[in-house]
């Protein structure tokens, strides 16, 4: 069952919202209202059946459909992506948070009896589950690795020794009672307890309503975590007079375990006095025991029967005092409704940066849920006073928000380009955060989680994130480019010393010597060659900006090293041995050890930074188009199963630019057709509605771009055109409104011709530069059946 969403009153849109462009605690207006709904700020319908162009002021024929009605949060369904099976698991969660917030309180669920397959519970939740084993405060969105799940709380009736184990307090829940919307989650447990959740940036808030005449208890369980996550240590210190528990919870998950585990500090407070309390170590509860520390500890608090209890949990990576400071600043009165209202208003403000006109509530839901998903991760990691724990495990201070949890191998392709375009103030802070990570830890990370290096995935994708933003107008000095470049250059030129917390580039010395990473270097050698060449392309662009011409020339030459793994006989990008021999691919449909998560068919397209060169290698435009067309025709015939797709695979990254390669080859109609096919056949408005792990918002950002009909090639200024699903989209950019108009949008209109114009002038090719659109204007895309 999909959630029942509460419509917001118009007055809410004037509520205070966090303004990421100023101090963390600054507030601002979310917009103006008319007749109970937010009026579109541009492109509004006129009364005579025509529309006014916000760019030219001229009349144009009325576009079909209506703008998505406000409040926009009604079109967001947080249950999308919380289900799925096998490699189709979305790894999303329905719990609340504010944009990029640290606090993500949510249900940790299992099937009956406590079974929870780890890969289906990377965020702690799966839609098909039937029992709840607690509400943890920190998690990730859309990853393929289980981690976090720190600081679990659980309401229960009475306390007994068996409740020191999850099986003693785990309980079934009423699926029909589940509700989720941006900033809010609610569920009724089988024992009659009603649980509601909301969040501020650094505080998780839980409101528990207990049945009358029962014994209200809240358990703080630091002895257990998500599936396959090890508890390293926990600490509880109960101050009954203050109505507070402080401590830490350190877990070692699939990635954080690589550096010893991530420690989260907390300060827990209740809205009502403790009637009694106790704690335990290794399964023995002791009434009145105020302090415990170890890998199997927890605490419990009793309340007198009566009104609902609000539990606020302040969070910090620094220490428990900063967790309490965050709680004092963001939820001093534990006012649940005020926090919920502020969270909803914050989401409304961010969603309102895009207005879309269409005829389908289904499309509104798909689109705004995708935008919502793109604003969940990375994770705020600095406290209200600017303190943060760096990758050197030392405490530093900053005057801007500091973020962590960068799934860069995924997010550089679509998520960061979307933030660069639509949310540049967030993106600037993320670039500054990466620079600080490099300065603090000595190396630019490729997958930082919490407070440590994980060395997850291949490549040094931060190079592309920086190049993409700098080429699109970000101030190099403002984001610390010179400092970041110096660190990135170091690992691009030589191996890291033994014992380093960062793994560096794979066999970078052999890559420089041979022009490729030899297969003898280990797994993913071909992928490492391809990623390194793409990274070097980005380094060349950054070197040019910094005036380092010798570096620019060197890295530009290395950007072509992808050609060294192109086998002209097999017509694939494959691995090579140290002797120079190409490794034969017996079956291009199966995964090979020299690829990272993919096969030869999917990796054949992986030179996004040099599509001209790839086209030449494949035999020219016509041969490349024919091969691309066959690739998608075969993909269309493939039956989806629990395993990865063998042809085009939307659920993973290496080939997700391929539907738009038609437009690079000047076949706009091909991109229009196949990007629409992907959108309609790999996404949906149900729990299994993502094509696989959302990878920190990567797949959702892909959907957003495809819905607009434009797609970025990361690390360049280029956007390739496709087929908008909305007759009008208005993107409120920093430099002016970008308006994308498509009078015909039906799915039956993507098999014919396609044409585009910019500011009324026909485009010779189906592509645009960022500089063309950054100051606003009108892009028109005409499709015909």
pLDDT score, position 785: 83
For 613, the 3-state DSSP assignment is helix
The residue behind tokens 């989650």 is 185
Average pLDDT over residues 391-401: 98
Residue 50 β-bridge partners: 61
Q: Choose between 176 and 7: higher pLDDT.
A: 176
Place of tokens 């926990």: 234
- Beta strands (DSSP E) in 325-456 are 354-358, 379-380, 387-389, 395-397, 403-404
pLDDT over 80 (residue 252):
yes
> Could you tell me the pTM of the whole model?
0.93
Q: Is the peptide bond before 71 cis (omega within 30 degrees of 0)?
A: yes
State residue 11's pLDDT score.
30
Question: Which whole number is the average pLDDT over 679-708?
Answer: 98
Region for residue 385 given its phi and psi (left: phi exceeds 0; alpha: psi -120 to 50; beta: otherwise): alpha
User: Are the C-beta atoms of residues 370 and 72 closer than 8 Å to each other?
Assistant: no
CA–CA dist 332, 71 (Å, integer): 28
Span 343-371, pLDDT tens digits? 999 999 999 999 999 999 999 999 999 99
- What stretches of 609-686 show up as alpha helix (H) in DSSP? 611-617, 621-637, 661-664, 668-682
**Cα 361 from Cα 339, distance rounded (Å):** 28
d(CA 227, CA 147): 9
Burial class of residue 67, CB neighbours in 10 A (0-12, 13-18, 19+): buried
Residues 33-64 pLDDT 10s:
222 223 333 333 333 333 444 433 445 668 99
Residue 629: both structure tokens together: 């067309």
Q: Which pLDDT score, from 0 to 100, does residue 59 have?
A: 52
Give every CB contact of residue 203 below 8 A, 6+ residues apart in sequence. Answer: 103, 312, 313, 314, 315, 326, 327, 330, 331, 339
Alpha carbon 681 to chain centroid distance? 21
End-to-end CA distance of the chain: 36
- Asked if the peptide bond before residue 378 counts as cis, ω within 30 degrees of 0, the response is yes
Q: Which of 88, 76, 77 is nearest to 694 (CA)?
A: 88
- C-beta neighbour count of 302 within 10 angstroms: 16
Q: What average pLDDT does the segment 337-341 reach?
A: 98
Residues 97-133: tens digit of each pLDDT: 999 999 999 999 999 999 999 999 999 999 999 999 9
Average pLDDT over residues 399-419: 98
Does position 2 have pLDDT exceeding 80, yes or no?
A: no
* Dist. CA 633–CA 625, nearest whole Å: 12
Determine the average pLDDT of the residues in 192-213: 98
pLDDT at position 60: 60
Count of C-beta atoms within a 10 Å radius of residue 119 = 18
Averaged confidence pLDDT in the chain = 93
Residue 751: its pLDDT value, please?
83
- Residue 242 in this model has a pLDDT that exceeds 70: yes
CB 231 within 8 A of CB 296: yes
Quick: pLDDT tens for 133-148: 999 999 999 999 999 9
Closest CA to 207 of 310, 339, 103: 310
Mean pLDDT of all residues in 509-514: 98
Average pLDDT of the residues in 256-284: 97
What is the token pair recorded at 383? 């406290």
Q: Tell me: the pLDDT tens digits for 285-324?
A: 999 999 999 999 999 999 999 999 999 999 999 999 999 9
Alpha-carbon distance 512 to 518, whole Å? 11
Mean pLDDT value of segment 545-563: 98
Give pLDDT, residue 61. 66
CA distance 670 to 287: 69
Give the closest residue to 269 by CA, choosing from 317, 203, 319.
203
Residue with token string 């926009």: 72
Other CB atoms closer than 10 Å to residue 369's CB: what's the count?
Answer: 25
Q: 297, 279 in Cβ contact below 8 A?
A: yes
Q: Which two tokens stand for residue 277?
A: 């309390």
pLDDT tens for each residue of 638-656:
999 999 999 999 999 999 9
The four Cα atoms 614, 615, 618, 622 give a dihedral, to 10 degrees, of: 170
What percent of the chain has pLDDT above 70?
Answer: 92
Q: Are strands 736-741 and 777-783 parallel, antiparallel or unpaired?
A: parallel
3-class SS letters over 261-323: CEEEEEEEEECCCCCEEEEEECCCEEECCCEEEECCEEEEEECCCCCCEEEEEEEECCCHHHH
Q: Is the pLDDT of residue 736 over 80?
A: yes
């Amino acid at each position: 069952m999909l959630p029942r969403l509460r419509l917001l009153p118009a007055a809410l849109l004037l509520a205070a919202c966090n303004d990421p462009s100023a101090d963390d605690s600054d507030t601002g207006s979310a917009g103006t209202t008319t007749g109970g709904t937010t009026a579109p700020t541009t492109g509004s319908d006129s009364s005579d059946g025509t529309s006014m162009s916000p760019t030219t002021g001229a009349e144009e024929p009325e576009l079909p459909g209506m703008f998505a009605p406000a409040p926009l949060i009604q079109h967001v369904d947080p249950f999308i992506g919380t289900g799925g099976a096998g490699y189709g698991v979305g790894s999303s969660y329905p719990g609340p948070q504010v944009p990029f917030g640290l606090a993500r309180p949510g249900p940790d669920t299992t099937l009956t009896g406590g079974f929870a397959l780890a890969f289906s519970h990377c965020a702690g939740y799966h839609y098909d589950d039937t029992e709840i084993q607690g509400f943890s405060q920190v998690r990730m969105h859309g990853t393929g690795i289980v981690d976090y799940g720190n600081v679990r709380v659980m309401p229960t009736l009475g306390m007994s020794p068996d409740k020191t184990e999850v099986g003693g307090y785990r309980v079934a829940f009423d699926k029909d009672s589940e509700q989720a919307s941006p900033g809010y989650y609610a569920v009724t447990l089988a024992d009659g307890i009603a649980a509601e959740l909301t969040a501020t940036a650094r505080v998780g808030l839980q409101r528990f309503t207990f049945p009358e005449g029962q014994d209200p208890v809240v358990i703080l369980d630091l002895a257990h975590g998500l599936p396959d996550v090890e508890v390293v240590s926990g600490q509880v210190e109960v101050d009954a007079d203050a109505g507070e528990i402080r401590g830490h919870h350190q877990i070692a998950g699939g990635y954080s375990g690589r550096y010893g585990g991530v420690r989260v500090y907390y300060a827990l407070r209740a809205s009502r006095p403790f009637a009694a309390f106790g704690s335990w170590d290794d399964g023995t509860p002791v009434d009145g025991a105020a302090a415990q520390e170890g890998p199997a500890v927890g605490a419990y608090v009793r309340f007198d029967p009566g009104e609902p209890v609000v539990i606020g949990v302040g969070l910090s990576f620094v220490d428990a005092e900063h967790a309490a400071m965050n709680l004092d600043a963001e939820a001093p009165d534990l006012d649940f409704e005020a926090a919920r209202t502020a969270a909803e208003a914050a989401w409304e403000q961010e969603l309102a940066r895009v207005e879309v006109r269409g005829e389908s509530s289904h499309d509104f839901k798909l689109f705004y849920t995708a935008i919502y998903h793109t604003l969940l991760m990375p994770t705020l990691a600095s406290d209200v006073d600017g303190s943060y724990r760096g990758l050197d495990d030392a405490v530093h201070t900053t005057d801007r928000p500091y973020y962590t949890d960068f799934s860069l191998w995924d997010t550089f392709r679509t998520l960061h380009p979307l933030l660069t375009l639509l949310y540049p103030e967030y993106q600037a802070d993320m670039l500054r955060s990466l620079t600080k990570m490099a300065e603090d830890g000595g190396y630019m990370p490729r997958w930082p989680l919490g407070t440590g290096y994980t060395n997850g995935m291949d490549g040094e994708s931060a190079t592309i994130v920086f190049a993409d933003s700098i080429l699109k107008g970000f101030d190099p000095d403002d984001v610390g480019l010179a400092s970041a470049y110096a660190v990135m250059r170091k690992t691009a030129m030589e191996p890291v010393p033994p014992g380093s917390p960062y793994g560096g580039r794979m066999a970078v010395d052999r890559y420089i010597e041979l022009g490729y990473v030899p297969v003898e270097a280990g797994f993913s050698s071909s992928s490492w060659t391809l990623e390194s060449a793409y990274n070097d392309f980005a380094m060349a662009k950054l070197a040019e900006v910094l005036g380092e011409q010798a570096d620019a020339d060197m890295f530009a030459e290395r950007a072509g090293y992808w050609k060294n793994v192109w086998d002209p006989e097999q017509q694939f990008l494959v691995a090579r041995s140290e002797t120079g021999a190409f490794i034969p691919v017996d079956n291009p449909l199966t995964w090979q050890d020299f690829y990272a998560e993919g096969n030869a068919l999917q990796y054949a397209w992986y030179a996004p930074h040099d599509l001209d060169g790839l086209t030449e290698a494949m035999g020219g435009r016509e041969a490349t188009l024919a091969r691309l067309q066959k690739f998608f025709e075969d993909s269309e015939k493939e039956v989806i199963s629990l395993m990865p797709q063998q042809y085009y695979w939307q659920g993973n990254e290496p080939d997700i630019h391929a539907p738009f390669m038609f437009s690079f080859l000047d076949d706009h109609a091909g991109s229009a057709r196949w990007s629409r096919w992907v959108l309609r056949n790999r996404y949906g408005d149900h729990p299994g509605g993502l094509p696989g792990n959302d990878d920190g918002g990567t797949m959702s950002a892909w959907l957003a771009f495809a819905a607009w009909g434009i797609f970025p090639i990361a690390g360049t200024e280029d956007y390739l055109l496709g087929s908008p699903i909305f007759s009008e989209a208005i993107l409120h950019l920093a430099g002016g409104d970008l308006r994308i108009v498509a009078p015909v949008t039906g799915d039956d209109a993507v098999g014919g011709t396609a044409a585009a114009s910019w500011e009324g002038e026909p485009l010779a090719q189906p592509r645009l530069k960022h500089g063309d659109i950054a100051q606003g204007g009108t892009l028109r895309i005409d499709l015909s059946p």
